[in-house]
Amino acid sequence: MRILLVKLLLPTVTVAILYEPFLGVLFFMTIAFVRLEVLTWGMVDARFALITSVLTLVSWILHSRDPKQRGDRIPGQFWWYLMVVFGMTMSTIYAEASVEASWTAAQKFWKYGIFMFLMIQMINNEKRLRMVQEVLFWGVNFLVLWGFDQHFRGNERLERVGGGDLADSSALAAMLLLVFPMIVYRSYHPERWVRWTGLVMAPFYLIVLTFTQSRSGFLGAMAALAIIFARAKNKMRYVVAAIPLAILLSAVMPSSFWDRMETIYHDKEHEQQGETRERSADQRLKVWAVVWAVFLDHPVLGVGRGNFGLIHHEYAAPIWYGKIDDELYADLFLRYRVAHNIFLDIMASNGLLTFIPWCLLMLSVPWSMSRTRKVLGTSPMDQYWRFQTYAFEIGILGYLITGGFQDLAEVEAFYWVVLLSGITRNVLLRRARESVREESVALVLHQAPAAPRASVPGIIVPAGQTAPNRWHI
């Protein structure tokens, strides 16, 4: 029955997208979290994401003359993103080991860019922006509920919950952190049901984050919660809410969570044996030393995305072979072939030509949000949007802190949120301009009528009429 429903869904959605391309944007975002292939145990391999993206693009081209499907302006985040993709393409041309592997990894960013362009064109008013927010909210809620189900079915660390870019438990934790501040700040929305859904779901995000046992996610969560508390006007409300939340977390948190958190500093087993070489941070430092050596040899273009794992052993051997035991060496440089750092990953894979615009892309978010807050008023909805601008900043910071210990540069939904910060600025600026225009029109329509002009001496004016202008005499 489930497979039949999915098969019937595709033609229905096809017709709907061809009628209204914006539905394609919403559906594509939905299936990024609610993967229909997973719901059918892999029995239906219909390439839902590919079909949806192609349909959305075709539908938008067919409706491109419709003003409802055209954005006002392209946000700066998109231009920085194109520079990032350009840098990755240049890295691919000069890939160190395999052009094919580099292009396979880099072409995903071109696909991301096409969908982001469609987002810019069709998320062009406040209503549509709110609909996208709800899709993100309920889509990640699905991951949260799925995480609960998987955890109690034996998937203790929630591996492959979400699939695709979110297959790793740390990637899932980063996604939860990216959206979590938006959930917290739903409490400022004027509508009661929006506020309550946020208040109900926010604790579950933190619970599932503990289920992932992601140490980098734990650090990101601590930073995000600290900033949320620091920005709060009524801090006592957060303190009161934290008490039952702490009790709930202590009741459901697996004991293995704290065991893994301890390895941020040291490994318990080897400490009992009088050894300290298994420090988790120390392991990262060993890997980062190799990544840094690769970057120093290829500072401008890097080695090409997807090439680090093909050449890093050439750098690891002279740096660490024989200096650490063979088991640890194999664990760090033979079994795993990743940089364990989003920043170093981009630097080594794509060089400064990509890394600099990527950093500017990240910095463009707080810049846009600070300027957006200047045009917001004091209405309840403006208050909601003000805190949502904070949510973009905090969520992206939490994601990047998690990415400081993981390779998270290729998660598509992350770039959606970065771009949405710029789209939010455009939408709110447009709303502010329209509000000023409406006030100006209302002022003209409701201004007092002009007083009748005084009669001009020497001119007889018929009864009931005003004197003519003296310049017309």
Average pLDDT over residues 118-133: 95
Report which of 98, 76, 5 is spatially closest to residue 44, judged by C-alpha positions: 5
Q: Which residues pair with 324 in a beta bridge?
A: 321
The pLDDT assigned to 453 comes to 54
What are the sequence ranges of the domains in the chain? 1-70, 77-269+276-441
Give 27-49 as a DSSP string.
Answer: HHHHHHHS-HHHHTTT-----HH
Residue 301 DSSP code: T
Report which of 431, 433, 438 is spatially closest to residue 385, judged by C-alpha positions: 431
Report which of 298, 350, 306 is spatially closest to residue 91, judged by C-alpha positions: 350
Tokens of 326: 């063979």
Report which of 280, 174, 158 is spatially closest to residue 211, judged by C-alpha positions: 158
**411 phi, psi to nearest 5 deg:** -80, 110
How many Cα atoms within 13 Å fall on the side-chain side of residue 215?
17
Cα-to-chain-centroid distance, residue 389: 13
The pLDDT assigned to 270 comes to 45
The pLDDT assigned to 245 comes to 78
Taking 90 as the threshold, does the pLDDT of residue 365 lie above it? yes
Terminus-to-terminus CA distance in the chain, angstroms? 89
The pLDDT assigned to 167 comes to 74
Taking 60 as the threshold, does the pLDDT of residue 469 lie above it? no
Taking 80 as the threshold, does the pLDDT of residue 273 lie above it? no
Q: How far is CA 238 from CA 148, 190, 228, in A?
A: 25, 19, 9
64-68, 170-174, 201-205, 341-345, range with the lowest pLDDT: 64-68
Rounded to whole angstroms, the Cα distance separating 165 from 253 reads 26
The pLDDT assigned to 256 comes to 64
Reported as a single tens digit per residue, the pLDDT across 322-359 is 888 888 888 788 776 788 899 999 999 999 999 999 99
Confidence category of residue 117, pLDDT binned at 50, 70, 90: very high
153-162, 188-197, 436-445, range with the lowest pLDDT: 436-445
Contact 229, 235 (CB under 8 A): yes
Reported as a single tens digit per residue, the pLDDT across 183-216 is 999 999 999 999 999 999 999 999 999 888 888 8
Amino acid at 277: R
Rounded to whole angstroms, the Cα distance separating 302 from 314 reads 15
Reported as a single tens digit per residue, the pLDDT across 11-39 is 888 899 999 999 999 999 998 888 776 66
Which stretches of 374-411 are DSSP H helices? 380-403
Q: How far is CA 122 from CA 14, 48, 84, 108, 382, in A?
A: 18, 21, 23, 22, 22
Q: What is the mean pLDDT of the chain?
A: 84
Taking 70 as the threshold, does the pLDDT of residue 94 lie above it? yes
Reported as a single tens digit per residue, the pLDDT across 374-387 is 999 889 999 999 99
Contacts 24+ apart (CB under 8 A), 375-384: 375/428, 375/429, 375/432, 376/428, 376/432, 380/188, 380/190, 381/190, 383/188, 384/185, 384/188, 384/189, 384/190
Rounded to whole angstroms, the Cα distance separating 300 from 340 reads 21
Taking 80 as the threshold, does the pLDDT of residue 471 lie above it? no
The pLDDT assigned to 414 comes to 96
Residues 6+ apart with CB under 8 A from 18: 55, 58, 59, 62
Amino acid at 291: V
Amino acid at 448: A
Rounded to whole angstroms, the Cα distance separating 267 from 187 reads 40
Which stretches of 253-341 are DSSP H helices? 255-262, 268-272, 280-297, 308-320, 326-330
Give 75-110 as a DSSP string.
Answer: -HHHHHHHHHHHHHHHHHHT-SS-HHHHHHHHHHHH
**457 phi, psi to nearest 5 deg:** -55, 140
Report which of 333, 319, 321, 332 is spatially closest to residue 278, judged by C-alpha positions: 332
Confidence category of residue 298, pLDDT binned at 50, 70, 90: very high
Give the rounded percent of residues in the chain with a pLDDT score beyond 70.
83
The pLDDT assigned to 458 comes to 52
Taking 50 as the threshold, does the pLDDT of residue 417 lie above it? yes
Residue 214 DSSP code: -
The pLDDT assigned to 274 comes to 41
Rounded to whole angstroms, the Cα distance separating 328 from 278 reads 9
Report which of 278, 274, 286, 352 is spatially closest to residue 315, judged by C-alpha positions: 286
Average pLDDT over residues 263-285: 55
Helix 169-184 to helix 380-403 angle, to the nearest 10 degrees? 160
Rounded to whole angstroms, the Cα distance separating 40 from 317 reads 45
Give the rounded percent of residues in the chain with a pLDDT score beyond 90.
52
Task: Report the 10 Å Cβ neighbour count for 11.
Answer: 9
Contact 153, 134 (CB under 8 A): no
Contact 187, 233 (CB under 8 A): no
Cα-to-chain-centroid distance, residue 417: 3
Confidence category of residue 160, pLDDT binned at 50, 70, 90: confident
